[in-house]
């Protein structure tokens, strides 16, 4: 009789274990998905000026909450992974024409040109010149989604295909894209200026592309001619300062580093004959032994040191990162500049964000936008689980560009009115 009364205690113990296990799993899920993190408008860093006040009034996304998908959108890792693996949801296929430019060293640069699908909000001819992220090109889904949206808002779009990134375009010189080489982007911009002499430019760069476009604008004042504004999204600003953080396991950056290095190795090795073949006139510093070291590389820094820096004759990795980073050029940019990063971007360490913060405190033309969530080039929106095709990032870049165009138009109208009044006097 006593034995029969004691048997229910065993299931009770097991139920307690189950509840504890469920609680532990829920705790891990809540922590990993960052579900307790609030939604909020992005943090904004800028100087009070007529331009900044106009932007705050004309760009609602700067002051509204960015609300990512409820279940997973507050995890920077998941946002980044979805961008990296999927790109975008239901990405459109904009129709464009591929252009080829022969560079002075024999390299063949390509970019894709997309005409606008509607009239621009100010009625002007505006071209967005776009530089994608590392090893990316116009066929990537996030680029296609953004281009389609920009076209529908009246922008012509020119998208650079990084040298060596397109699998069906062979290299015609022993060189491929590097972290901060602006030659191909500059050639594309010059083509647009020559072909469309009345157009004005909006410069856009994503990740590595953000470094390239900012460096390009800061290299010489002439590069800012006809440029209305520049937008950089999710770049790291200084490769020299980023290299140490990229070797740390914090936020799994070392793992991301390995994945990107593996992708870079595949791209380089796909052009093995053009870069390392016996018939190739290689840069003096590039040796056959570098190919062997490339096979063993497990980080971007090792690839940059053994191969990439040697395309341009840098003597050391430190010199390469110092010269190729846009940080030393940012203060030379005088057109309106919006720098966008996500606070939970696992690739960009928070210490690097002091660069755009400091710049925005000194320059009236700079606004730094820092939402809590978004990961690296994610910025997905949606209600519960499924993301929307268009992201917060896509909308913000176009909204900012529209506002700058309206700002420039209003300045011209004011100048015309002043001339009329002066003539009447």
Write down how long the chain is.
Answer: 425
282 plus 354 within the same structural domain:
no
What pLDDT does residue 4 have?
47
31-33-37 Cα angle (round to 5):
75
What pLDDT does residue 403 have?
98
Percent of the chain topping pLDDT 90: 76
pLDDT at 166 over 70: yes
| φ, ψ at 125 (rounded to 5°) | -90, 110
**CA 335/CA 214 separation, integer angstroms:** 11
pLDDT at 421 over 80: no
What pTM was estimated for this model as a whole? 0.91
**CA 343/CA 339 separation, integer angstroms:** 13
Question: Is 262 contained in some domain?
Answer: yes
**CA 71/CA 388 separation, integer angstroms:** 14
Question: Among 138-147, 225-234, 282-291, whose mean pLDDT is lowest?
Answer: 282-291
pLDDT at 327 over 70: yes
Residue 169 CB partners (closer than 8 Å, separation 6+): 108, 110, 161
What pLDDT does residue 15 have?
62
Tens of pLDDT, residue by residue over 11-20, are 555 565 555 5
pLDDT at 303 over 60: yes
SS3 state at 202 = strand
Which among 298, 324, 350 is the end of a domain?
324
pLDDT-derived band at 84 (thresholds 50, 70, 90) equals confident
Give me the CATH number covering residue 222. Answer: 3.40.50.1820
Measured over the CA atoms of residue 212, residue 325, residue 108 and residue 146, the dihedral's sign is negative
Question: Is 29 contained in some domain?
Answer: no
Which among 290, 324, 358 is the end of a domain?
324
Percent of the chain topping pLDDT 70: 87
**CA 315/CA 368 separation, integer angstroms:** 34
What pLDDT does residue 417 have?
54
What pLDDT does residue 416 have?
55
342: alpha, beta or left? (left if phi > 0; alpha if psi -120 to 50):
beta
Question: Is 44 contained in some domain?
Answer: yes
Measured over the CA atoms of residue 132, residue 138, residue 144 and residue 147, the dihedral's sign is positive
pLDDT-derived band at 405 (thresholds 50, 70, 90) equals very high
The residues facing 44 across adjacent strands are: 369
61 plus 187 within the same structural domain:
yes
142 plus 73 within the same structural domain:
yes
pLDDT at 234 over 70: yes
Question: Is 422 contained in some domain?
Answer: no
| φ, ψ at 53 (rounded to 5°) | -65, -40
pLDDT-derived band at 423 (thresholds 50, 70, 90) equals low
What pLDDT does residue 20 have?
54
Residue 92 CB partners (closer than 8 Å, separation 6+): 144, 145, 148, 389
309 plus 401 within the same structural domain:
no
**CA 202/CA 209 separation, integer angstroms:** 14
**What single string gives the DSSP state of each residue in 2-66?**
HHHHHTTHHHHHHHHHHHHHHHHHHHHHHHHTTTTPPP-PPEEE---SHHHHHHHHH-GGGTSPP
Tell me how far CA of residue 287 lies from CA of 102, 262, 361, 395, in angstroms: 26, 21, 45, 46
What pLDDT does residue 277 have?
78
171 plus 268 within the same structural domain:
no
Mean pLDDT throughout 338-354? 97
Structure tokens at 123: 């009625």
CB contact at 8 A, 92 and 145: yes
Task: Please count the other Cβ atoms lying within 10 Å of the Cβ belonging to residue 292.
Answer: 10
263 plus 318 within the same structural domain:
yes
**CA 337/CA 351 separation, integer angstroms:** 21
Mean pLDDT throughout 342-365? 97
pLDDT-derived band at 340 (thresholds 50, 70, 90) equals very high
231 plus 333 within the same structural domain:
yes
60 plus 135 within the same structural domain:
yes
pLDDT at 26 over 90: no
189 plus 334 within the same structural domain:
yes
Mean pLDDT throughout 326-349? 97
Please provide the average confidence, as pLDDT, over all residues in the chain. 90
What pLDDT does residue 29 have?
56
**CA 267/CA 273 separation, integer angstroms:** 12
309 plus 273 within the same structural domain:
yes
270 plus 317 within the same structural domain:
yes
CB contact at 8 A, 314 and 240: no
Question: Is 151 contained in some domain?
Answer: yes
pLDDT-derived band at 3 (thresholds 50, 70, 90) equals very low
Mean pLDDT throughout 389-406? 97
What pLDDT does residue 145 have?
96
pLDDT-derived band at 1 (thresholds 50, 70, 90) equals very low
pLDDT at 207 over 60: yes
pLDDT at 130 over 80: yes
86 plus 209 within the same structural domain:
yes
What pLDDT does residue 17 have?
57
Nearest one of 370, 342, 392 to 80, comparing CA atoms:
342
Question: Among 30-39, 81-90, 171-180, 206-215, whose mean pLDDT is lowest?
Answer: 30-39
Crossing angle for the helix pair 141-152 and 392-424, to the nearest 10 degrees: 30
Segments forming the whole domain that contains residue 348: 35-238+327-406
Question: Is 198 contained in some domain?
Answer: yes
Active site residues: 207, 345, 376
pLDDT at 305 over 80: yes
What pLDDT does residue 407 have?
96
Please give the tally of structural domains in the chain.
2
Mean pLDDT throughout 50-57? 97
Question: Is 278 contained in some domain?
Answer: yes
Which among 324, 341, 362 is the end of a domain?
324
Question: Is 28 contained in some domain?
Answer: no
The residues facing 227 across adjacent strands are: 201
pLDDT-derived band at 27 (thresholds 50, 70, 90) equals very low
């Amino acid at each position: 009789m006593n034995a029969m009364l004691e048997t229910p205690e065993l299931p009770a113990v097991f139920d307690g274990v189950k509840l504890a296990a469920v609680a532990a799993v829920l705790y891990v899920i809540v922590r990993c998905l960052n579900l307790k993190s609030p939604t909020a408008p992005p943090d904004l860093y800028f100087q009070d000026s007529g331009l900044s006040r106009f932007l705050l009034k004309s760009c609602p996304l700067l002051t509204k909450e960015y609300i990512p998908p409820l279940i997973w959108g507050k995890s920077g890792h998941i946002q980044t992974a979805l961008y990296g693996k999927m790109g975008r949801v239901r990405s459109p296929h904009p129709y464009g024409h591929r252009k080829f430019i022969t560079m002075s060293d024999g390299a063949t640069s390509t970019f894709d040109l997309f005409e606008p699908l509607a009239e621009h909000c100010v009625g002007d001819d505006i071209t967005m010149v776009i530089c994608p992220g590392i090893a990316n090109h116009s066929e990537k889904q996030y680029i296609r989604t953004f281009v389609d949206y920009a076209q529908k808002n009246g922008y012509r779009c020119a998208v650079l295909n990084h040298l060596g990134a397109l699998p069906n375009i062979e290299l015609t010189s022993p060189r491929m894209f590097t972290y901060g080489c602006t030659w191909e982007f500059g050639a594309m911009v010059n083509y647009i200026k020559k072909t469309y002499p009345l157009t004005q430019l909006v410069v856009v760069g994503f990740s590595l592309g953000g470094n390239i476009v900012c460096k390009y604008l800061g290299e010489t004042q002439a590069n800012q001619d006809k440029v209305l504004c520049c937008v950089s999204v999710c770049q790291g600003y200084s490769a020299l300062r980023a290299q140490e953080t990229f070797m740390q396991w914090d936020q799994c950056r070392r793992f991301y580093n390995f994945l990107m290095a593996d992708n870079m190795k595949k791209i380089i090795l796909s052009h093995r004959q053009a870069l390392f073949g016996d018939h190739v006139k290689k840069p003096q510093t590039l040796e056959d032994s570098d190919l062997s070291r490339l096979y063993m590389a497990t980080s971007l820094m090792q690839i940059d040191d053994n191969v990439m820096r040697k395309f341009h004759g840098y003597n050391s990795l430190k010199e390469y990162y110092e010269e190729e980073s846009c940080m030393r050029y940012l203060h030379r940019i005088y057109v309106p500049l919006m720098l966008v990063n996500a606070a939970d971007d696992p690739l960009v360490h928070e210490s690097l964000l002091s660069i755009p913060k400091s710049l925005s405190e000194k320059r009236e033309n700079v606004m730094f936008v820092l939402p809590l969530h978004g990961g690296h080039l994610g910025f997905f929106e949606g209600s519960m689980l499924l993301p929307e095709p268009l992201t917060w990032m896509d909308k913000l870049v176009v909204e900012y560009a529209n506002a700058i165009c309206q700002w420039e138009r209003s300045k011209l109208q004011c100048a015309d009115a002043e001339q009329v009044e002066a003539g009447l006097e």
